[in-house]
Amino acid sequence: MATRSDVDAHVGQSKRWPEEVAALRPILLGCGLTEAVKWNKPCYCHEGRNIAIVQEMKDFLALMFFKGALLSDPEGLLQSQGPNTRSAMRLCFTSVAEVKAATNAVAALVAEAIDVEAAGLEVGPAPELVLADELRERLADDPALAAAFDALTPGRQREYNLYISDAKQSSTRSARIDRHVDRILAGRGLRGR
């Protein structure tokens, strides 16, 4: 696992938000979190459990709480990452001044996130997957593909279904299925992993 000096090096190489990350780090460390590089990003943990991760986006710096959906967020600062996000929520910053102004709120959210982990709370199960019509029909017609799809992790199944169902036209949804049959049969995710 990467160490704190690795986080120093990571921040030193940052081209998008280095000052904002530098302002955020002491707040997080002051809350009793440890830091390391995970998934090529500064990640903050408490007693070995992931609490938050810093994500440098194009238009903002995000402090993403892994179980943000379970936090009360009394100031309403947390934002969803997108319409299909169930657990993670993030704070977004575009300046050092914003980071400093949010110091108390960040500390309160970190404290609550630590409590959520200590209590063993988990986000509820995902809703039942409703497959796009074209995918459902294709799986019904191809038992080998259906078996391979069923063998995928629930996250990979959901990712394929979201990608396929996102197309507006039925022909595009069918073409997307055709393009990814080999990956599904190989047990790989949408992005080839």
Q: What is the pLDDT of residues 93-126, one digit of tens each?
A: 999 999 999 999 999 999 999 999 999 999 888 7
What domains appear along the chain, each with residue ranges and CATH number? Answer: 4-118 (3.90.1150), 133-185 (no CATH)
The answer to whether 106 and 33 are in contact (CB under 8 A) is no
> From CA 11, how far away is CA 163, in angstroms rounded?
33
- What is the pLDDT of the chain when averaged over all its residues? 92
pLDDT at position 4 over 90 = no
Distance linking the first and last C-alpha atoms of the chain: 21
pLDDT for 6 equals 86
The mean pLDDT value for 24-35 works out to: 96
> From CA 43, how far away is CA 11, in angstroms rounded?
12
CA dihedral 107, 108, 114, 116 (to 10 degrees): -160
pLDDT per position as a tens digit, 134-182: 999 999 999 999 999 999 998 899 899 999 999 999 999 999 999 999 9
pLDDT for 77 equals 94
